[in-house]
Chains A and B, each alone.
Chain A
Amino acid sequence: MTLAALPPWLMAVIASFIVLNVVIGMVTYVTLLERKFAARMQSRIGPYRVGPHGLLQPIADALKLMMKEDVVPTAADRHVYNLAPIVFLIPCMLIFATIPFAPGLGVADVNIGILFFLAVSAMEIVGLFMAGWGSNNKYALLSAMRAVNQIISYDLPFIFSALVPVLLAGSLKMSDIAAVQQGSLLKWFIFYPVIGQLAFIMFIVSTLAAENRVPFDILEAESELVAGFRVEYSGMKFALIQLGEYAHMIGSSFLGALLFLGAWSGPGPEYLGPLWFLLKAMFVFLFVTWIRWSFVRIRVDQILALSWKALLPATLALLIATAVVVVWRTSAGI
């Protein structure tokens, strides 16, 4: 029985099962990568004792979270509180559906891939607010209100900066965008003169903000609102929220690698494509992490001002400029 003989729905189920498991496995080890990277930047060693050089640390963390007592505050809104981690997690996992890991190797490489990704990734805000509201805790509520403000403000620049490669490639389908960048290093959109670099920088900044990473992590702000909207969660529910956050983070890294860094293009034979894709996504992730561990955070009103007064006009202008350049190039034939 060849793969092509399986009914399409079964193939989709198998593919999504594999992708989900791989994503969960990657999320746990990406936390270790971040911890070791951050530690080295701070003149210390990260996890070291659990397993050789800390390689079993994520497993230990996962086991610990699974074994923890599930504490639910008495006055919490039970249904909202219990549903919130799931509602938060689902969009963060769903975004992996449209990413093609190699030509033809993806769960659902739809024609509107980018649109689906951007729309679904913005839905995590619902779960976030549910968590903050259902906890019946002033700190959580404050954090949830800040989160709504921030994520909504930064989704627009995120979308606009992600649309620049769409314009350059001329298609919303993810594999098309990746296909245009194949061939040589200079075809990667990040090397597109001026527009590519600007778009990449704005993409990174918007990702940081949509991800609640420092310098835009006012909503978790450990030193003010300890853990923000997650403060009342423990055990497996907390693990789901963590999973969702890091999955979104990795998803955005994969998107960045696909849009700007040429996805699976790289030296060597074709089957190494997904490996290059992974390495590029990790590079984007580490870049974001590097920024995270270098700056202090800014206040929520400053974050919003930065978005509405600076980033949104800039991305809009960039998008219009890209459109002009694309039209001029097609008409001039270059």
Chain B
Amino acid sequence: MMTAQELVAKVKNLPPVPHAALKLVSLLDQPAVSNTEVVQALRSDNVLTAKLLRACNSPFFGLAEPVASVDQAVFLLGHQQILHIVLTIAFGSAMVVPLPGYAVEASELWRHSLVTATASEMIANEFTDLNVEAPVAFTVGLLHDIGKLVLNQTLTADLQAEIRGQIEHNKLDRSEAEKAVLGTDHGEVGALLLQRWHLPDDLVEAVANHHHPVLKPRLRFSVVTHLANCVAHLSGSAPGWDGYAVRISEPVVASLAITPEQIEQLVFNVREASDRVEQFMNLS
């Protein structure tokens, strides 16, 4: 049995993420961000800037004139689009890896992350009581499973079999089974990565608790990641043999008075947005 800290300390390959992208994410907890701040965060990284400009000039964004500088890109596309593109570039290469410990093929985790990010934005817009801004919702959706990259490296065949046994025989969900076998789960491990990157506490919480969301004393961001993850699984993005070993939080369903029709509508809307997800797959 290990804590998330002990487990991360054992792992050699932590996902490499450009500092400039993390700087941009850390701006998310500020009430108002100026174009200058966004530009400054990005300008320190030439490689990221080059990739960003190339992405902005792809036909997907339909700009009339090609952009040549970060200033121009931020001005024309706006903070939200820039954040989406930068995150896609920054985390895409780290997250397009096969995860044998989860029976997940390369690109499946990344597609699931993008679908969850899309669902997360929609949920933030649908359930306004949650009080989550769309860019934050997108970000936490994108990063909710990043702990799997780390955990996967420690999952020997024996441990995998043990986790599988817990799910099949004891009716645990994936996160509960990981805790029973390892002492921690991919949510806690992912949250620890975000902490190391000095990302805002709300984001850390959203990743840590996406399988057991926090409702008291107030609904926290993990409620959004929880719902978004479940909707993504139902939208055809449930990678791995245990793709449906996810427990729905009863208190979340009750407190937001969620109806079956709402869930079907969300699944439909997420599916309708699948072209956009594929475009983002191509950017990274």
* A and B interact physically: no
**Footprint of A on B, CB under 8 Å?**
none
**Footprint of B on A, CB under 8 Å?**
none
